[in-house]
Amino acid sequence: MSALIACFVVPALFAMPAALADPVMAGPGAPVNLRCEYLTNPLGIDVTQPRFAWVLGDSERGQTQSAYQVLVATSAENLSHDQGDAWSSGKVASDDSTQVAYAGKALESGYRYYWKVRTWDKGGAASAYSQPAWFEMGLLSPSDWKGQWIGGANQLRTEFNLAGPVARARATIAGIGYYELHINGARIGSSVLDPAWTTYDKRVLYATHDVTPYVQSGANAIGVMLGQGWFASRALRFQLDVELADGRHFQVQSNTSWMARDGPVVSDSVYDGEVYDARLEEPGWDRSGFQNIGWRAAESVPGPKGVLSAEMMPPIRNVDTLVPLAMKNPKPGVYVYDMGQNMSGWAELRVRGPRGAAVKMRFAELTYDDGMINRDNIRAAKASDTYILRGEGEEVYEPHFTYHGFRYVEVTGYPGTPSLDSIRGRVVHSAVEPVGGFVASKQILNQMQRLIRWSQLTNLFGIPTDCDQRDERQGWMGDAQVTAEEAMMNFDMAAFYTNFVRDIRDVQASDGTITDTVPHRYGSRPADPAWGTAFPLLCWYMWQQYGDRRILEENYESLKKYVEFLRSRAPDNVLRYSYYGDWVAIEHTPGELVSDAYYYYDVEILRDVAGILGKSADSRAYAQLADQVRAAFNQTFLDAKTGNYANGTQTADALALFLGLVPDDHRGAVAGHLTDDITYGHNTHVTTGFIGVKALMPALTQIGRADLAYELAVQTTYPSWGFMVENGATTLWELWENKRGPSMNSHDHAMFGSVGAWFYNALAGINLGADGAGYRHIRIEPQVVEDLHWASATVETIRGTVSSSWTHSPGEITLDVTIPVNSDAKVVVPKEEEMSSVTIFEGDRIVWQNGQFVPGDPGVTGASAAHGDFTFEVGSGHYAFRLTEELKGEGGG
C-alpha cells in the first residue's frame, strides 16, 4: 500500500462480530433471484435458447455449487409436479450459476414457460427447488406478424367484439417513433418513450404487454397515439392475441380498417418539446361506441425496412417525482421553478383557467443572475412544452413524446398565479436497477458519486446518450465506452448493453467500419478509433462483469472485421486517423497517439476473445499483431531519453501505462514523468480530456500512486470534479471549465464519471480476479489512502453480493468483505508502511502472526505476504479482517 501515517500500538477496543461459519447440516438454501436473459420473468422475448441465472443465497463460508438441475415446463402445474416437459437439464455437474442456456424442445411463439432450479453444494447435498419463475416468448418469426404497418395521423383506433370471457390477452406493438397504447380507456404499461431508438433500417423493437385485465367479453376498443421520436416518422404495427375462456382464439391486427385522426398532440419533437391542445381531445376515443366523426381510414405505410426484435431491456420509465425547491417570479408573468437537481424528463403541470389559455414551459439547466433561465448552452433545442387548456376544472398535463434535460422550468402564460404545487419534476430514463453503492469518509467523494449516478441515469434513453438537454442526445460511442465500467458497478446494465452491442453491430458496414454515434446520426463513418472501441470493449466488459460468452460468440466475426478494417488503415502498424482524440482536454495530446493506443487495445481484446472462444490460430495471430502494434507505438511515440510519450501530456503517458504499452525498462521513467507532471507541472490537477482521465486513475493506481489519484479525485479547484461540486453542479459537466454561454458546455454529460469505476476498484477494492469473468474469482484490494478513514462499497453482481469496507485508524486497519457462494477471492489486507510486524485477526481468530499464516479459520484457505501487504485466499462468506501492530502476549486462534 502507499504512504500511510505513523502508527501507534492500539489494543483492540471492541470485539469483532463472530464469523458466520457454522457448518450447515441441511442442504443449501434454494436458489434465488432467478433471471432469464438478465431479466426477471420477461414477457415477449425472442431468444430461442434463453440463458438462465440464479444466485445462491447462502452466507456459508467456502461453499460452492457442485451441480444444478433446471426444469422448464409448459405449465405452472407441470412445474409444480417437477415435470420439465419442455426441458430437464438433468443433474449437471457444474459450478455454472449464470449463462446456463436452454437446451430443450423448440420454444414456441407466444407461449409462457415456467422454470425452476435446484443445486447441489460441494458436499453433494441438494437444495430445495427455487420458487418458480417464467419467461414468455414473443413473436419468433416474421410470419407471426399478421398486422400491417399503418399510419396516416398521430392517433389510430379500432373496435372489436369478443364472444365470451377472456382467459389471456397479449398486445404486441411496434409503434415508431414513440407510441402510447390505450385499451378500453386505460393507458397500457408503465413504459414511456417506447420503443427504444434503433437503426430502423436494420431493426425495430417491439414490446409485448399482458392486457388480459383490459379486454372484456363484448365490445372493446384500442387507441394508439404515435409520436415522431428520433427520426420524425410515425408508423404502427400491432396485434392483439386473445384466448377466450372456452379456448377459442381471436386476433386483432393493425390494418386499413383502423381509423386515423390527428389528436391533441399538435406537434412533438424530442428536442423541441410538445404542444398539446386539450381542446382537441375527444373523450372516449379509446373506448368502444365512439363515433368516428372526422376520422378517416388509416393508411397502409411502407414501414421501416428492419426486422422486428423484442425489446429485451428495462424500458424508459418515469422513475421518480421531484418537488421543486423554490418558485421565483423574476419578471411579471414569468415563474421559474428550481427542481434542485439537474434531471431528465419533464414537468407535470397543474392548472385551472379559461378554455384556450396557453401555458408554456421552457426548460433550462442554468439561470442568469436575475433569476431568468439561461438556455444559451442548449443550442437549437427549443425544449419547450405548451399546454392549451380545455377550460374545465383542474387540468393535469404531462407531455407524451418528448423529454428534456433541466433543473429549471420557466412557466409563462399561467392563468392567475401558480404555486409551488403547480409543477412537479418527472424523472425519466431507462429504468435500470441500482446494483452498487459506494461511500467514503470524505464528503467530496460522496458528492461526486451522487453526480456520477445522476449523470449516468439521465443519459440512458434506450441507448447511452452523451447529454440530455441540447440538440444532440446521441449514442456517442466514446462517451459510452468510458462510462460503461462505472455504469456496470452502479446499475444492472446487462440487458441494456446486450441491446446496445446489437445496435452497434447493426451499423457495421461490409467493410467492417462502424460509426461515431449509434444509431448513426452525428459524427462519421468510420468512427474515431477511440469511439469505435465501444464495440470490442462493451463485449469485453459484458464478458468480465457477467461472464457473457454468448456476446463474444455472436460478435466475434464482426469484431474481427472491425479490427481488420483498422489494420487496413495502419499499414505500418500505426493507426493515425483521428477526429476527436482526447476530447475536451486542457492540454492537447496528438490524436494519432490516442487512436493508435486504442487500436492496440482493440487488437488485445480480440486476441483475448479468440483465446476464450478457443480460436487458437486467431489468438496467436492477434497476439503477434498486438506485439507489432506495441513495438510500432513505442518507436513512433516514445522518447526514450525523457520517458515522454509524444508531447508528454498526462493523457499520452497514462494511456501508454494503462494499456501496458510501455516497455518494462521505461516504466519507471514514464511513471516518474507522469507523476511529476501532475504534482509539479500542474499543482496536482488533471490536464486530460475524457479519454485520458479514464486511463489516468487506474494508471496511477497500477504504478503504486493511488494516493496521487486520490488527490486528483478530491481536488476542488479547477480543473477537477470537485470544482464542479463546489460550483453547485448536480450532474457532471461536459467541460472542466464552468462555462454557461452559447458554446458547447452541457451541464449533464456522463463521460467524466468514469472515475466512478475507480471508486469501486481502487478505493473500495472490488475487482475481478484473474480469469474471474462474472465474479467467479474476485480480488479485493483496497487502496487505503492516508486522508481517508474509511470507504465502503457493495455490488450485487451476477453471482450475488460482493462487498468491501475498510476502516483505518492509527495502528489498525479493518477490512470486511462479502464473497458470494460459488465464488472465491483473494483479499489483500494492506499494512501501514511503518508497521514492522503485525497480527491479523479474522473475527476473533488470529490468521496471521509472527510473519506466518495461521490456518484454521473456516473459509480462509491460505495467505501470503508480498510488498508489505497480506493476501488471504478465501471462499464464499463474510469475513472481518483486522490488522494491528503485533500484539505482545495476546493469544488467539
Minimum CB distance to ligand BGC, residue 743 (Å) = 11
Closer residue to ligand BGC (CB): 583 or 760: 583
CA distance 466 to 173: 28
Q: Does 479 bind ligand BGC (CB under 6 A)?
A: yes
CA distance 142 to 492: 31
Closer residue to ligand BGC (CB): 580 or 598: 580
Minimum CB distance to ligand BGC, residue 600 (Å) = 21
Element (H, E) at 207: strand 203-210
Region from 221-229, 466-474, 613-621, 764-772 binding ligand BGC, contact rule CB under 6 A: 466-474
For the segment 227-266, give every residue that binds ligand BGC (CB under 6 A).
Answer: none
CA distance 699 to 479: 19
Q: Does 466 bind ligand BGC (CB under 6 A)?
A: yes
Minimum CB distance to ligand BGC, residue 525 (Å) = 14
Closer residue to ligand BGC (CB): 466 or 842: 466
Closer residue to ligand BGC (CB): 423 or 735: 735
Closer residue to ligand BGC (CB): 311 or 596: 596
Minimum CB distance to ligand BGC, residue 371 (Å) = 28
Closest to 381 in 3D by CA, of 402, 400, 408: 402
Closer residue to ligand BGC (CB): 492 or 528: 528
Closer residue to ligand BGC (CB): 586 or 780: 586
**Interface pattern 581-620 for ligand BGC (x via CB under 6 A):** --x-------------------------------------
CA distance 768 to 393: 59
Please state the φ and ψ torsions of residue 596, each to the nearest 5 degrees: -70, -40
Among 312, 467, 609, 686, binds ligand BGC (CB under 6 A): 467
Three-class DSSP category at 277: strand
And the C-alpha cell for 575?
Answer: 493507426
Minimum CB distance to ligand BGC, residue 192 (Å) = 24
Minimum CB distance to ligand BGC, residue 748 (Å) = 10
For the segment 733-752, give every residue that binds ligand BGC (CB under 6 A).
Answer: 749, 751
Torsion of CA 494, 500, 502, 507, to 10 degrees: -170
**Interface pattern 748-787 for ligand BGC (x via CB under 6 A):** -x-x------------------------------------
Region from 15-23, 129-137, 476-484, 772-780 binding ligand BGC, contact rule CB under 6 A: 476-484
Closer residue to ligand BGC (CB): 462 or 475: 475
Closer residue to ligand BGC (CB): 472 or 485: 472
Minimum CB distance to ligand BGC, residue 731 (Å) = 14
Please state the φ and ψ torsions of residue 473, each to the nearest 5 degrees: 50, 50
Annotate 307-365 with DSSP letters as a single string. Answer: EEEE--SPPEEEEEEE--SEEEEEETTEEEEEEEEEEEEEEEEEE---TT-EEEEEEES
Minimum CB distance to ligand BGC, residue 730 (Å) = 19
For the segment 566-585, give every residue that binds ligand BGC (CB under 6 A).
Answer: 580, 583
Angle in degrees, 0-180, between the axes of helices 549-568 and 534-546, rounded to the nearest 10: 160
Residue 91: is it exposed, middle or buried by C-beta count within 10 angstroms (0-12/13-18/19+)? middle
Task: Give residue 828's identity as a one-letter amino acid code.
Answer: V
Region from 6-14, 473-481, 488-496, 808-816 binding ligand BGC, contact rule CB under 6 A: 473-481
Closer residue to ligand BGC (CB): 724 or 829: 724
Region from 152-160, 199-207, 471-479, 761-769 binding ligand BGC, contact rule CB under 6 A: 471-479
Closer residue to ligand BGC (CB): 288 or 458: 458
Closer residue to ligand BGC (CB): 476 or 881: 476
Please state the φ and ψ torsions of residue 753, each to the nearest 5 degrees: -75, 0
Buried b / exposed e across 591-612, counting CB within 10 Å, b at 16+? bbbbbbbbbbbbbbbbbbbbeb
Pairing of strands 87-88, 423-430: unpaired
DSSP 692: H
Closer residue to ligand BGC (CB): 140 or 451: 451
Closer residue to ligand BGC (CB): 214 or 601: 601
Among 68, 129, 337, 476, binds ligand BGC (CB under 6 A): 476
Are 574 and 509 within 8 A, CB to CB?
Answer: no
Contacts of 664 (CB under 8 A, 6+ apart): none
CA distance 318 to 192: 7
Region from 52-60, 255-263, 464-472, 835-843 binding ligand BGC, contact rule CB under 6 A: 464-472
Minimum CB distance to ligand BGC, residue 732 (Å) = 11
HSE, side-chain direction, 13 A CA sphere, residue 457:
30
Minimum CB distance to ligand BGC, residue 465 (Å) = 9
Minimum CB distance to ligand BGC, residue 168 (Å) = 46
Region from 399-407, 475-483, 497-505, 555-563 binding ligand BGC, contact rule CB under 6 A: 475-483
Minimum CB distance to ligand BGC, residue 472 (Å) = 6
DSSP 209: E
Q: Does 410 bind ligand BGC (CB under 6 A)?
A: no
HSE, side-chain direction, 13 A CA sphere, residue 437:
7
Minimum CB distance to ligand BGC, residue 512 (Å) = 21
Closer residue to ligand BGC (CB): 748 or 857: 748
CA distance 268 to 671: 53
DSSP 201: T
Please state the φ and ψ torsions of residue 748, each to the nearest 5 degrees: -150, 80
CA distance 888 to 867: 24
Q: How many residues bind ligand BGC (CB under 6 A)?
A: 10
Closer residue to ligand BGC (CB): 528 or 608: 528
Region from 57-65, 201-209, 364-372, 472-480 binding ligand BGC, contact rule CB under 6 A: 472-480
Minimum CB distance to ligand BGC, residue 562 (Å) = 19
Q: Does 478 bind ligand BGC (CB under 6 A)?
A: yes
For the segment 48-87, give every residue that binds ligand BGC (CB under 6 A).
Answer: none
Helix, strand, coil distribution of the chain in percent, nearest 5: 25, 30, 45
Buried b / exposed e across 226-255, counting CB within 10 Å, b at 16+? bbbbbbeebbbbbbbbbbbeeeeebebbbb
Minimum CB distance to ligand BGC, residue 658 (Å) = 19
Q: What is the 3-state secondary structure (H, E, C) of 763-792?
A: HHCEEECCCCHHHCEEEECCCCCCCCCEEE
Closer residue to ligand BGC (CB): 37 or 528: 528
For the segment 276-305, give every residue that binds ligand BGC (CB under 6 A).
Answer: none
Cα–Cα–Cα angle for 364, 191, 406, rounded to 5 degrees: 5
Q: Does 271 bind ligand BGC (CB under 6 A)?
A: no
Please state the φ and ψ torsions of residue 838, each to the nearest 5 degrees: -135, 160
**Interface pattern 423-462 for ligand BGC (x via CB under 6 A):** ----------------------------------------
Write the Ramachandran bin of 33: left for phi over 0, alpha for psi from -120 to 50, otherwise beta.
left
Closer residue to ligand BGC (CB): 474 or 803: 474
> Does residue 165 have a cis bond before it (omega within 30 degrees)?
no
- By CB under 6 A, name the binding residues for ligand BGC: 466-467, 472, 476, 478-479, 580, 583, 749, 751
